[in-house]
Structures are given as structure tokens and as C-alpha cells.
Amino acid sequence: MNWLDISEAEISSNVPNWFWEFLPTMVKLNISHNHFKRKIENLPLIPQSALQIDLSSNSFEGPVQHFFQCQHKCFCPTTCFQQQIFLCVLTGQLPDCLMNFQSLGFLDLSNNYFHGSLPISMGSLRQIQSLHLGDNNFSGEIPLSFVNCTWIKLFDAAKNNLTGPFPSWIGNNLSNLFILSLHSNQFHGSMPLSICNLDELHLLDLSLNSLSGNIPKCISNLSAMASQANSKVDISMLMMHIMMILMALPA
């Protein structure tokens, strides 16, 4: 068996050990939106052949390092790896072990209890298009290595403890961004003029930081963000819509 989808089946139980015996042959596994329970560190390693592993919206808990390591070395699927892990109770630091995941296109680690700095190896995710890190306890600055993630379209790191000046290199290097959500952090200083280079930007949320100074006048040239004055935009729905578009893109 190499393909299994039992998502949204209202299954409520611990995942039996025999179930994971199928994992080494899995290409796609979707058990999302159930009520499965298990310590995540007791799960077997995700195979390198996997294209999509979706364990989201369950009650898995524990540190996530086991997913990213194999005999103390990182592993990487040979093709696009699409992993959704959110609404779990994952803890610990995100391991600095992402340098071999260069074909990763979608990663959702939001709504967990990760802490510590964002790993420098995150800049190795050169094919990443949708990265969700919101609602954690990440701290420190966004690593400069992230300038290599030039294909990214959706970057959400809201509701963390990220600090430092707003990175000017975002506007200079990440020109494909559709959505940039960094609200509820501790960024300070002024908004750089380079933000006006993000011609594709549809949504920019930098609220609830400690930014100061004037908003660059050139931001009015970002026509992709233009909307009627009285329109109400559901940000979460917009993010979900763009996320689904990204997931539908061919590898």
C-alpha cells in the first residue's frame, strides 16, 4: 500500500503500532482532521519517497526532531515534499537540519510550542513557496540565509517573539511574495523603502510590533494590495485561498 486517505473520518483512538508498518512504502498519507493521539517521538521516520504526509488537526504531541532526523543525519525526499503539521502540540527547537530539504514546497508548523531561533538552514529551502511558522515562541532575528528562498509566495511568522529591525532584504530578494504576515512580534525601527519592491504583494500585516517612523510613500504603488475603502477582507480566508492555490501547483 502506498496511498491512503482517511482524513475527516472522525476516528478517535491511539494510532496502533501495526498501522505505521505501512509507512516505509507510503507515497501519500493523509490522516488529517481526526482525533488520533500519540507521542510524536514514538512515530517511525517519514520515508524519503514520500510526496505528501498530512498528520494535521489531530492530537499528536512531543518534540518534532524525530521527523527531521535519521541516524543523526537529515534526510530529504527525492521530489517535492509537502508536509502539514499544525494544530498539534509539538514542542522543542526546530532542528538546524533543513539543508537537504531543497525540494520542499510547503511547510506548516504553526500553532505549536516551538521556541528558540529560526535555524540558519531554513535558507536552504530554495523551492519553498508557502511557509507557516505563526503562533509559536520563536525568538531572535529572521536568519539572513532566508534571502535564498526566492520562490516563496506566502510567509507567515506572526505571533512569535521575533526581534530586530524589519529586514530590508525581504523587499530586495523575496519579490514573489503574495502574503507577508509578521504581526505580533518585536520588530523595531523604520519600514525600509525596499518593501515597495514587492509588486506581487496582496497582504502585508506588520501590526503589533514596535516599528517607528513614516510609512514609505511608495507603498501606494503596490497595486496588488489596492481595494475599495469600505471592503472587508477576511485575512484567514485569503491566506487559505492562496495556500490551496500553491498546493495545487505542479511539483
Q: Quote the Cα angle for 133-79-108, to 5°.
A: 15
Read off the amino acid at residue 230: N
Please check the confidence at residue 240 and state whether its pLDDT lies above 90: no
pLDDT confidence bin for 118, thresholds 50/70/90: very high
CA distance linking residue 51 with residue 9, whole number of Å: 22
Q: What is the pTM of this model?
A: 0.73
Residue 168: domain span: 3-248
Which range, 59-68, 90-99, 181-190, has the best average confidence (pLDDT)? 181-190
Tally of domains within the chain: 1
- CATH number, position 145: 3.80.10.10
CA distance linking residue 232 with residue 248, whole number of Å: 26
Length in residues, the chain: 251
Read off the amino acid at residue 159: K
pLDDT confidence bin for 97, thresholds 50/70/90: confident
DSSP summary character for residue 8: T
Q: Percentage of the chain with pLDDT > 90?
A: 37
